[in-house]
Structure 1
Amino acid sequence: MIERFIEKKLILELNNDYILTMIGARQVGKTTLLNKIKKYLLKKKAVVNLFTLEDKTLLADLNTHPKNIFNYIDFDADKQFLLIDEIQYLDDPSNFLKYIYDLYNGKIKLVVTGSSAFYIDKKYKDSLAGRKKIIHIRPFTFSEFLLAKNAVELSKKINEFSYFNKQKEIKLLIPEKDK
């Protein structure tokens, strides 16, 4: 499994208090990234719970009341990470996220995924302003694609070419008298 360029940014965002929300189209790797975050956190000996809302029983319980998440997790740790895949399946995702954030911020770090910004925005009845950070997950970049295909040398050459062209463009922008 290759490392996505966005992974380092996501790991850094785990240190912040706000709700980390990964959104993107289907099949761009949100669930894979969520699993990688879980693996990273477990290596750091963190308390981690990962759920998918494709689980109909869990979904029904959380739609009844956000506090029902505590039927599924132990709340003994000083701080824990709650990772939820497919948050848009909730009837009112903003209510769930706001409830957990407002009551347990600092004790529970929320990291969630959703498959469509439009669909999530439509279901969010509260903007969660100041409470969430949205990271857009996109399909592989061309460099990531090459790395996935073990074309490492070609990927390095493309990056070198890109860097060279950027330097050339910068030189063209500087007037001759300033060089």
Structure 2
Amino acid sequence: MVYPRKIYPELYSHAQTNLVTVLTGMRRTGKTTLIQQLLADLPNKNSIYLDLQRPDNRELFEQKNYDTIRETFIARGILPDLPMIVALDEMQLAPESPSAIKYLSDHHKIKFIVTGSSSYYLKNLFSESLSGRKKLFELFPLDFGEYLTFKEVQHSPLDWREGQFNNLEYNRLSSYYEDYIRFGGFPQVVLAQSEAEKRDILSDIMSSYVNIDIRSLADFSDERNLYALAKLLAGRVGNRVEYSNLSRLIGLSRPTVTNYVQFFEKTYLIRTIGVYTRSIDREIVKSRKLYFCDTGLANTLSDLSSGAQFENTLFNQLARIRQVQYFALKSGQEIDFVLNDDFAIEAKETPLEADLSYLKRIAATAGVTNVRLVGRRESPKFKNYAWAGSII
């Protein structure tokens, strides 16, 4: 069964235009499933799907005569007298393909739908050859609403920004949210039946990232150092990225560590967020904070604390809504998240009234009017907060 993704309606709409539709995201987030679903749903059935992990498909785009590529499409069953749709999966493996796509799109009006595992690679690959001819969509692991859809659990959006703790929804859905915190939102992981199977899939995703994505997308000589740095970063979820400290701990130069961290972000393993500020102030801390794209993956690399698991999960929930930053002073006072410049959010596993007072005080310092505590569990007496599982 194919479960709907929130990105699909916009993706489907764009797939019916003449522009190149680009879907990017980390390995195993469901890109292949989505483009195969597009080919099944689009009215135009004159289409072909090419997996560029196959050498014979990659070789097709190494040809200098682009008209020969079109002839190959026809030989493989696509009709020459009707509009053509060509889907290319993992196109970063065929670095010569963008110029061919441009030519075939311009001269033969072929519609291309392509996927890849690196936003940086695809944006730069397309920057000149397909400038103005494409739209890039990013696919992430399931958010909690999509997780519930895959679990076939009924749910509906709630206004988590105001009101009291929702006891009914918490009692109904908290066991699902705890599973989501622990194992994350990769579709195969969510659908796996046992914890052992979930852990095996997560390990395999990380192994594929190291052995396939790193080798195909980067010119790094030592994959072991990259993996060691990924493990080190996983243990620092929710903390500021201190490059000098990381360099000392792992035994690599600061520029090398910086390049590795940037590569991790461009290939969707991690996200970093900046400081919220309305003016340059000497009290504001400039370092970026680090989160992983999926808490289950971070748990595979490091034994995350309960609080770190929750904060990382909440970050990913909020990041699907709008821009996320954080606020911090050198004194140590901090707001976990500032959403869209106007909403201060503090993550607490079991919120207390004192936490709300603290948040309001620091938010006033930051110049943010709206505040909200978001909790993981039910607080015995305090109810003026949102349960994190209601952010769907």
TM-score range, shorter chain: 0.7 to 0.9
Matched ranges for 1:1-179 at <5 A? 1-41=2-42, 44=43, 46-65=45-64, 66-69=66-69, 70-73=71-74, 74-105=78-109, 108-124=110-126, 126-152=128-154, 155-156=155-156, 159-162=157-160
Contact 2:99/2:129 (<8 A) preserved:
no
Distance 1:13 1:63 in 2: 28
Distance 1:163 1:16 in 2: 37
User: Identity of counterpart residues, as a percentage?
Assistant: 24
Contact 2:92/2:122 (<8 A) preserved:
yes
Distance 2:131 2:44 in 1: 31
Residue 101 and residue 72 in structure 1: after superposition, are their counterparts in 2 closer, same or farther (change >3 A)?
A: closer
Compute the displacement of 1:47 (Å). Answer: 0.8
Contact 1:94/1:125 (<8 A) preserved:
no
Structure 1: which 4+ aligned runs deviate by more than 6 Å? none
Bigger helix fraction? 1
Compute the displacement of 1:55 (Å). Answer: 1.5
Larger relative contact order (Cα-Cα within 8 Å, sequence gap ≥ 6): 1
Contact 1:47/1:77 (<8 A) preserved:
no
Distance 1:148 1:163 in 2: 25
Q: TM-score, normalised by structure 2?
A: 0.38
Residue 125 and residue 141 in structure 1: after superposition, are their counterparts in 2 closer, same or farther (change >3 A)?
A: closer
Q: TM-score, normalised by structure 1?
A: 0.78
Contact 1:83/1:111 (<8 A) preserved:
yes
Compute the displacement of 1:126 (Å). Answer: 2.2
Contact 2:49/2:88 (<8 A) preserved:
yes
Distance 2:17 2:44 in 1: 18
Residue 7 and residue 163 in structure 1: after superposition, are their counterparts in 2 closer, same or farther (change >3 A)?
A: farther
**1:103 partner amino acid:** H
Distance 2:7 2:150 in 1: 15
Compute the displacement of 1:34 (Å). Answer: 0.7
Q: Which runs of 5+ in 1 are unaligned?
A: 174-179
Taking only aligned residues, the RMSD between alpha carbons, in angstroms, comes to 2.3
Compute the displacement of 1:78 (Å). Answer: 2.5
The DSSP-based 3-state class of the residue aligned with 2:11 is helix
Residue 13 and residue 124 in structure 1: after superposition, are their counterparts in 2 closer, same or farther (change >3 A)?
A: closer
What is the match of residue 176 of structure 1?
none
The DSSP-based 3-state class of the residue aligned with 2:40 is helix
The DSSP-based 3-state class of the residue aligned with 2:130 is coil
- Across the two proteins, how many residue pairs are aligned to each other? 160
Render the CA deviation track for 1:75-97: whole Å, top value 9, x for unaligned. Answer: 42321211111111113232122
